[in-house]
Amino acid sequence: MSSVIELKHLKKYYGESRGIEDVSLSIEEGTIYGFIGPNGAGKSTTIRTMMGLINKTDGEIFLFGKPFDKDDLEIKEKTGYLPSEVNLYADLTIKEIFDYHEEFYKKDLKPRRNELVQLLKIDESKKINDLSLGNLKKVGIVLALMHSPKLLILDEPTSGLDPIMQITLHDILLKEKQKGTTILYSSHILNEISNLCDIVGFIKDGQMIKEDTMDNIKKNYFTYLKISSKDIEKIKEELGLKVIKEDDNTTTFINNLDPNTVINKLAKYNIDNLLIEEVSLEDLFINYYM
Amino acid sequence: MIKKELKSNIKSFIICLVLLISVFLLVYLIYPFVITDENMATMNELLQAFPEEVLKAFNMDLASIDTAYGWLKSEGFMFVLLGIGIFSSILGINIVFKEEQDKTIEYLASLPIKRSKIMTKKIFVSVFYIISLIWIFTLFNFIALLISCEFNQKEFFLLSLSPLLIGLPFFFFNLFISTLVKRDKKVLGLSLGLVFIFYIVSMLSEISDKVEFLKYFSLYTLADTRNIIANCEINIWCILISIISSVIFASLSYIFYNKKELL
């Protein structure tokens, strides 16, 4: 499979202040890539650099295997972009903005447009100016998808959407993936990433700090180990794990040992209660960033 | 895209056209009643009290305001030039820059269209509106003058061309400025301020020979209205400088816009 997006040591500085320091990633065709990071980490800067809205300071961008050129119309035709904040022409109606969008593409967008409008329950007669944040987001989603792009770049796509629409969007994206569409999905809402993405890349302070498959992230990292025992002080010494919580009779450890090792080490102690909990992506995220 | 741009900018076009036509219509309507022999005598007495420099600043040393056409040549056209200057400047500063201010550029830039083509289409619409404004207004004045009084038609048409000589440089100058600045709402104020500064500088340069050099620092000098009224001709240099400066500012706008960070 070939890389649809490839970033090599991408750097962006706004004068003295850092946008991104060193972002390298590679996304293969048909993959949904979760791009995670807290606010200010550099997610939107990375995306805006890829979209040619801002100029990179250093590094390389390849889209569909070609060196980045903001005026490459062939690539632009194959790309759909949903910004985190959807800003459209306030004086137009939704129908007018969809018609306007169609003018830029050589193919007939009507069937896909109608399909998406129905799925997302959009009233095309409304004016952009009168739309709520959620409805504006829905219009943005249709604009990003109606030309059936091969690459979708979504920046915080569910912000403002109600839970039902979030599910609808995820269904749409999973169908897009089945068609072979590559999706870069930027978010700080970790649960939606865990249900949707194949690969997750973590960005912090403008640098990629971790990238792994969703399965590995779920399996291989850490678990929470909750133990209730009179011998808890000895157990702490024996395990050598970080304690994150202690209440009356239960101590919670961050556990990176495999289950057999834990059981072997605990065998000699009197244990009242033992619980191994799978860590949520939320907690994994906090462990990285906090 | 052109259809959308025409729609987005039609409001300011209509406002400017209605404003200009309203003022002139009012003058055409009231002039026959105001300009009587008695009133003119009083007016002439009053004007004699003004220093010659002030009369020169309003072209009133060259044209008598005893007819509507006389008023049009003097005070009237000063107003037109100011109006066209403001309209062209607002268009120039806003036509591309507003997309950045409203952040709609994030959507526009994602579409399969080159930045240079965005610029070309926006320039086309703006120039269309500037020329339309001038020619609709010229047509209105022509009909009104045919009804109101006798006038020199060649001189009138040359005068009617003069707003174009300042309108286009003002538009392209402001377009260029808009490609240099970041999202900042103060830019429009600065742009309008410049129109008034150019206007005042141009008037000052007419007042005295000592400050005549100031005319080289104002785009309004390109209108060449005094020469048109005095000699019924336009200085070819004004036309050339108007075209050359427009081409230079347009070229710079393309270059800088292509490199600009849009967010």
The CATH number linked to A249 is: 3.30.70
By CB atoms closer than 10 A (0-12, 13-18, 19+), residue A268 is: exposed
User: Least CB-CB distance to A87: which of B1, B106, B111?
Assistant: B106
**Backbone φ/ψ region at A79: left (φ over 0), alpha (ψ -120 to 50), beta:** beta
Taking an 8 Å cut-off on Cβ atoms, the answer to whether B112 and A105 are in contact is yes
* Model confidence at B218: pLDDT above 90: no
Which H or E element spans position A224? strand A223-229
How far lies A191's CA from each of A55, A209, A280, B72, in Å? 32, 19, 8, 71
Taking an 8 Å cut-off on Cβ atoms, the answer to whether B106 and A76 are in contact is no
Same domain, A284 and A160: no
Provide the CATH number for the domain around residue A13.
3.40.50.300
* B-chain residues near A17 (CB < 8 A): none
Residue type, B139: L
Break chain B into its structural domains and give their ranges. 2-259
Q: Which of B8-12, B50-54, B242-246 has the highest mean pLDDT?
A: B242-246
Q: How confident is the model at residue B185 (pLDDT cuts 50, 70, 90)?
A: low
Predicted local confidence at residue A100, as pLDDT: 94
- As a whole number of angstroms, the distance between CA B176 and CA B179 comes to 5
Give the lowest-confidence range in A41-50, A188-197, B134-143, B226-235.
Answer: A188-197
Predicted local confidence at residue A288, as pLDDT: 57
Predicted local confidence at residue A141, as pLDDT: 95
Chain A residues contacting B via beta carbons under 8 Å: 48, 51-55, 70-71, 73, 76-77, 79-81, 83, 85-92, 96, 100-101, 103-105, 143
Q: Which residues pair with A62 in a beta bridge?
A: A6, A67
Same domain, A203 and A239: no
Q: Is B262 on the interface with A (CB under 8 A)?
A: yes
Predicted local confidence at residue A260, as pLDDT: 84
Predicted local confidence at residue A96, as pLDDT: 94
pLDDT per position as a tens digit, B225-254: 878 887 888 889 989 999 999 999 999 999
- As a whole number of angstroms, the distance between CA A21 and CA A44 comes to 13
Q: Is B105 on the interface with A (CB under 8 A)?
A: yes
Where a domain ends, among A160, A194, A218? A218
User: Least CB-CB distance to A83: which of B106, B112, B114?
Assistant: B106
Same domain, A244 and A205: no
DSSP A149-208: -SEEEEESTTTT--HHHHHHHHHHHHHHHHTT-EEEEEES-HHHHHHH-SEEEEEETTEE
Q: Is B2 on the interface with A (CB under 8 A)?
A: no
Range of the domain at A282: 221-289
User: Least CB-CB distance to B110: which of A71, A81, A105?
Assistant: A81
Q: Which residues pair with A252 in a beta bridge?
A: A226, A245
Distance from CA of B83 to the nearest CA of A (A): 26
Same domain, A153 and A285: no
Where a domain ends, among A218, A233, A261? A218
Taking an 8 Å cut-off on Cβ atoms, the answer to whether B115 and A70 are in contact is yes
Query: Do A206 and A42 form a contact (C-beta atoms < 8 A)?
Result: yes
Q: Is B4 on the interface with A (CB under 8 A)?
A: yes
DSSP strand pairing (A58-63 vs A66-67): antiparallel
Same domain, A147 and A258: no
Query: Do B257 and B180 form a contact (C-beta atoms < 8 A)?
Result: no
**For the complex shown, is ipTM > 0.90?**
no
Residue in chain A closest to B98 (alpha carbons) equals A89
Share the mean pLDDT of chain A: 87
pLDDT per position as a tens digit, B140-177: 989 988 887 777 888 888 888 889 999 999 999 999 99
Q: Which two structure tokens, joined as six digits, stand for B200?
A: 């005042």
Where a domain ends, among A168, A199, A218? A218
Predicted local confidence at residue A283, as pLDDT: 67
pLDDT per position as a tens digit, A231-266: 888 898 888 888 888 887 889 988 888 778 888 888
pLDDT per position as a tens digit, A5-37: 999 999 999 888 888 999 999 999 999 999 988
pLDDT-above-70 percentage for chain B: 88
Same domain, A154 and A214: yes
Measured in whole angstroms, the distance separating CA A57 from the mean position of its chain's CA atoms is 24
Q: Which residue has the higher pLDDT, B58 or A203?
A: A203
Q: Which residue spans within chain B are E strands per DSSP?
A: none
Predicted local confidence at residue A17, as pLDDT: 87
Query: Mean pLDDT, to the nearest integer, of A103-122?
Result: 92
Query: Do B58 and B82 form a contact (C-beta atoms < 8 A)?
Result: no
Same domain, A28 and A132: yes
Best of B94, B101, B110, B263 to disrupt the A interface (most A CBs within 10 Å) is B110
* Model confidence at A281: pLDDT above 80: no
Taking an 8 Å cut-off on Cβ atoms, the answer to whether B262 and A54 are in contact is yes
Helix pair B236-259, B115-148: axis angle to 10 deg = 150
Same domain, A70 and A172: yes
Q: Which residue has the higher pLDDT, A38 or B38?
A: A38
Distance from CA of A89 to the nearest CA of B (A): 7
Q: Where are the alpha helices (DSSP H) in B208-259?
A: 225-231, 236-259
Q: Domain total for chain A?
A: 2
- As a whole number of angstroms, the distance between CA B187 and CA B26 comes to 33
- As a whole number of angstroms, the distance between CA B45 and CA B209 comes to 26
pLDDT per position as a tens digit, B68-99: 788 787 778 888 899 999 999 999 998 988 89
Q: How confident is the model at residue A87 (pLDDT cuts 50, 70, 90)?
A: very high
